[in-house]
Amino acid sequence: MLPDLSLDATYWQQRYANGQTGWDAGRITPPLQEYFAQLGPPGARRILIPGAGRAYEAEYLHRQGWPNVWVADLAPEPLHDLQQRVPDFPAEHLLLADFFQLEPALAFDLLVEQTFFCALDPALRPAYARQCAHLLRPGGTLMGLLFDTEFSQPGPPFGGSRAEYRPYFEPYFEFRHFATATNSLGPRHGRELFICLKKK
Ligand SMILES: C[S@@+](CC[C@H](N)C(=O)[O-])C[C@H]1O[C@@H](n2cnc3c(N)ncnc32)[C@H](O)[C@@H]1O
């Protein structure tokens, strides 16, 4: 099936311009914060947050002292928002770019998934898993949250289930964790998976 090409940069920029950003938690979500807390002291790890939006995870990591955090998004507005909130976040780490076109000079150690996968047309899910693997070094980690629920309205967000998702990731990743998150934000409670996958 061909992906819906209308979910492009203009679509997303309009959503921000119109304030239609119901996904925006306004803060780092507890599962991600807890995961980062157990990483230990800040280090050289190269971290990418794709489809980052206002990128509260990047703000959190930057303020903790992690120097090598990148964010990528199709829409300029949320990247400007991050710049306003965190003026010393490195401008060259703000990538106004299509995730599927990213070709970094160096591979990443960690990719962070927060409400990006569900924003993509489901036809792109196999390509999402492939591109995540492409961007990571062997042994690198894809970590974050995936909805494990269906939505009554047409997407985005597009729902799905763990049974559907597994085959997308299995060719490239070992599954370290793939289970219902225990500390999701209120309305998402019981409806999302916490995933931690290691690139083969
Ligand atoms: C549902 S929002 C989530 C934003 C953020 N992760 C959050 O949780 O607040 C999806 C984001 O993905 C971005 N996006 C959509 N398609 C993209 C693509 N192909 N490459 C990069 N960013 C994309 C949108 O501009 C939007 O900011």
C-alpha of residue 95 to centroid of ligand 1, in Å = 12
pLDDT digits (tens, 9 = 90+) for 94-140: 999 999 999 988 999 999 999 999 999 999 999 999 999 999 999 99
C-alpha of residue 121 to centroid of ligand 1, in Å = 12
| 165 within domain boundaries | yes
C-alpha of residue 200 to centroid of ligand 1, in Å = 26
CB atoms within 10 A of CB 38: 6
Encoded tokens for 156: 């985005």
Which residue, by CA, sits nearest to atom 27 of ligand 1? 53
| 12 within domain boundaries | no
Number of domains in the chain: 1
State yes or no: pLDDT of 2 exceeds 80.
no
Alpha helices in 65-155 (DSSP H): 76-85, 125-135
b/e sequence 68-102, b meaning 16+ C-beta within 10 Å: bbbbbbbbebbbebbeeeeeebeeebbbebebeeb
Contact call for residues 150 and 144 (beta carbons, < 8 A): no
- The helix/strand/coil state of 7 is coil
| 15 within domain boundaries | no
| 121 within domain boundaries | yes
State yes or no: pLDDT of 1 exceeds 80.
no
| 21 within domain boundaries | no
CATH code of residue 82? 3.40.50.150
Q: Quick one: 169 exposed, middle or buried, by C-beta within 10 A (0-12, 13-18, 19+)?
A: buried
| 159 within domain boundaries | yes
Q: Say what the pLDDT of residue 4 is.
A: 78
Q: Say what the pLDDT of residue 63 is.
A: 98
Is the pTM above the cut of 0.95?
yes
Q: What gap in Å lies between CA 166 and CA 142, rounded to an integer?
A: 13
Domain that holds residue 111: 29-199
| 67 within domain boundaries | yes
**Can you tell me which atom of ligand 1 is nearest the CA of 75?**
25
Alpha helices in 54-192 (DSSP H): 56-64, 76-85, 125-135, 162-169
Alpha helices in the chain (DSSP H): 9-17, 30-37, 56-64, 76-85, 125-135, 162-169
Contact call for residues 58 and 49 (beta carbons, < 8 A): yes
pLDDT digits (tens, 9 = 90+) for 58-93: 999 999 999 999 999 999 999 999 999 999 999 999
- The helix/strand/coil state of 99 is helix
pLDDT digits (tens, 9 = 90+) for 144-197: 999 999 999 988 999 999 999 999 999 999 999 999 999 999 889 999 999 999
